[in-house]
Amino acid sequence: MTDWTDAARKLAAEITAAAPEWHDSVCATPRHQLVPRWWEPIPDSYPFAWGLHAPNPEQPWMKLYSDETLVTRVGPLHADQAKPEDQPTGLPTSSSTLPGLIVRMLHLLDPQPADRVLDAGTGSGYSAALLAHQLGDDLVTSIDIDAYLVQAARERLADFGRAPRLEVADATSSLPDEEYDRIIATVSVRPIPRSWLDALQPGGRIVTTIVGTSMLISADMGKDGIARGRVQQDPANFMRTRQNLDYPARLDQVYTAARDQAGDHIRDLSGPMPDLWSDWELRCLYELDSPDIENRSATCADGTELLWLLAADGSWARGEGASSTVHQSGPRRLWDELELVQSRWEAAGRFPLSRMTVELGPDRSILVSPDEQWLLGI
């Protein structure tokens, strides 16, 4: 049977080619000790459900040392605490993120010797382990709002000799310390917490993602108290910060109303059906303009597309590719809002989001388009 260190070295070779400074940390971190069990989707389940998984005895390291995200908690139920017959149907609320993304973010973070680093979102403890190996335990603080996750990570890290500071804390509120040189978040935020900006020292760097988008940003703190940077080229997704055991329920009642009934307002599509799944940049711009709109899509048997936009106030829209028709109901016209964002972006030449700059300050945090015509709050 292959030893885990061989599997870790293979993973390191795969994910650190562009970040060689993290090679040894990946090699030295036993991910299997941090993620003994996880959830995987049950194929063809309805409603969509998750099943409990553990390492395959025949190939125990294959899944754990692959560049994959392992979901460790669904709704309020952590895989550690689940029974074999449990099949939760909620949304993921914690995971061990794909190692390649963590390494990419750490490379972007670029911590230097003696830097004090805050890791927001302990999860399984994997990113804290990599940081502690690189910098030393005393320079790494990792926080999570979930007391069980913090305690489990603390014990599992200690089992292989790592002891960074782990604390139960709300990442959007007060931080364990007042000063940090680097802040990395494996949870998404919006707005950027004021506590992060207050704690980040001049010359320090923030690497994080924005709630509801796939936008990975980095920004360096200036002496004037403003952190400036830009959107990174490749997308990245993380769960949003939460204050409770679970996220708010999805908008199933709104979807039931929107699924196939006629809207209060019906019109023709103005152009081709937008694809918010593959066109992540349009999806991001729409989310920044109209936050917290839930979108769902489906492909009919004949290959035509359906797209639903749902809001908590009961507003909804449905685009039908087959009939080139839009149905809308409720106090807002969600499809009109989407088309307005799309038309503005097209008029601006559909600039890559990586050309957007970011300014994070105590009074406002914004993304700025290349032509400086869009100032989007984050």
Nearest-angstrom CA–CA distance, 371 and 348:
8
Instruction: Please list the active-site residues.
Output: 96
Task: Return the number of other C-beta atoms located less than 10 Å from residue 264's C-beta.
Answer: 10
CATH topology (fold) of 264-347? Double Stranded RNA Binding Domain (3.30.160)
Please tell me whether residue 258 adopts helix, strand or coil conformation. Answer: helix
Determine the pLDDT at residue 2.
63
329 forms beta bridges with: 316
**What is the helix (H) or strand (E) element at residue 320, kind and residue range?**
strand 316-320
Domain edges within the chain: 264-347
Q: Tens of pLDDT along 159-217?
A: 999 999 999 999 999 999 999 999 999 999 999 999 999 999 999 999 999 999 999 99
Q: What is the mean pLDDT of residues 56-69?
A: 92
Q: Tens of pLDDT along 307-343?
A: 999 999 999 999 998 889 999 999 999 999 999 999 9
**Which of left, alpha, beta for 300 (phi over 0: left; psi -120 to 50: alpha)?**
beta
Q: Are 308 and 296 in contact (CB under 8 A)?
A: yes
Q: What is the mean pLDDT of residues 280-295?
A: 94
Counting residues of the chain whose pLDDT is more than 90, the rounded percentage is 85
* Residues 6+ away with beta carbon under 8 Å from 220: 203, 204, 205, 227, 228, 229
Q: How many helices (H) and strands (E) does the chain have?
A: 10, 20
Predicted confidence band at 1 (pLDDT cuts at 50, 70, 90)? very low
Q: What is the mean pLDDT of residues 97-108?
A: 98
**Which residue intervals of 3-70 are DSSP H helices?**
4-15, 23-28, 31-34
Predicted confidence band at 277 (pLDDT cuts at 50, 70, 90)? confident
Q: What is the mean pLDDT of residues 42-58?
A: 90
Predicted confidence band at 10 (pLDDT cuts at 50, 70, 90)? very high
Residue type, 29: T
Nearest-angstrom CA–CA distance, 347 and 117:
41
Q: What is the mean pLDDT of residues 260-280?
A: 91
Determine the pLDDT at residue 304.
81
Q: What is the DSSP letter of 85?
A: T
